[in-house]
Amino acid sequence: MARPRVMGVINVTPDSFSDGGRFLDLPAALAQARRMIDQGADILDVGGESTRPGADPVDEAEETRRVVGLIAAVRAESHVAISIDTMKPGVARAAVAAGASIWNDVTALRWSPESLAVAARLRCEVVLMHMLGEPATMQAAPAYDDVVGEVAAFLAERARAAIAAGIAPHAVRLDPGIGFGKTPEHNLALLANLDRIKALGFPVVVGASRKRFIAAIDQSAKDEGDRLAGSLAAALAAVRAGADIVRVHDVRETLQALKVEAAISGARVP
């Protein structure tokens, strides 16, 4: 991709770790979507179920109800790309019918035996993310012999499975899954060695925004709202290391940081 894309997060949930409860009703969610579009978001990532440890599971009907109204309302007034952040094929199907064109799945299309075939039939882009274990327990004691090697091997296998199921190779994106079954050190190792994920040959997505590893580095950042500066540092580092899409809560600030970085790089004297 020629320039990094910014994916703005909108969680239509009562319990997401950062914006839970803020966008549960359609007018509030649509206002946030409009704000992110005005600020220059390339993609809106709409989620109806939190994946944070301890979050309540949501049934398919309720998750669909939460996301479809917002997706249809955004699609009625904007051409912005919309991704649906879900593990459930039924939710993805309804979201694509309403106007989404990307299925972002934190289970890398493993949650249901139907996921791969449904994604192939929908002809949507797919974000395949690495997660160790399951959301409820993934942060209990995550352990790897070689976190970067294991995450890269997993993503390579999921990309192969996706393509074997009929998903177009150019529709595949890979995500190391910052915070999903990882200690702060694991997250830092992945961010520092993103080139090994990039070497798999697919566009790379990174979601570090407001995550807890930032508080492990700066203990004054206990609240998610205090992690903007750390999120910007992580987004810049990710893009410098080859990330094609950064998934963020703060679109305007992220774009400003990326533009300043690009302007400085462009001003280098040959």
| Binding flag, residue 41, ligand HH2 (CB under 6 A) | no
| Binding flag, residue 47, ligand HH2 (CB under 6 A) | yes
| Binding flag, residue 231, ligand HH2 (CB under 6 A) | no
| Contact stretch for ligand HH2 (CB under 6 A) within 23-31, 44-52, 60-68, 150-158 | 44-52
**Closer CB to ligand HH2, 175 or 250, in the complex:** 175
Residue nearest to ligand HH2 (CB): 207
Q: How far apart are CA 103 and CA 93, in angstroms?
A: 9
| Binding flag, residue 86, ligand HH2 (CB under 6 A) | no
Residues in the interface with ligand HH2 (CB under 6 A) total: 21
Q: How far apart are CA 84 and CA 86, in angstroms?
A: 6
Q: Are 115 and 95 in contact (CB under 8 A)?
A: no
Q: Can you spell out the DSSP letters for 179-236?
A: TSS--HHHHHHHHHTHHHHHTTSS-BEE--TT-THHHHH-TT--SGGG-HHHHHHHHH
Helix (H, G, I), strand (E, B) or coil at 44: strand
The two beta strands, 125-129 and 43-47, are: unpaired
| Binding flag, residue 104, ligand HH2 (CB under 6 A) | yes
Pull the structure tokens for residue 32. 């946030």
When binding is defined by CB under 6 A, the residue of 108, 116, 152, 178 that contacts ligand HH2 is 178
| Binding flag, residue 205, ligand HH2 (CB under 6 A) | yes
Chain positions contacting ligand HH2, by CB under 6 A? 9, 11, 13, 16-18, 47, 50-52, 85, 104, 106, 127, 129, 175, 177-178, 205, 207, 247
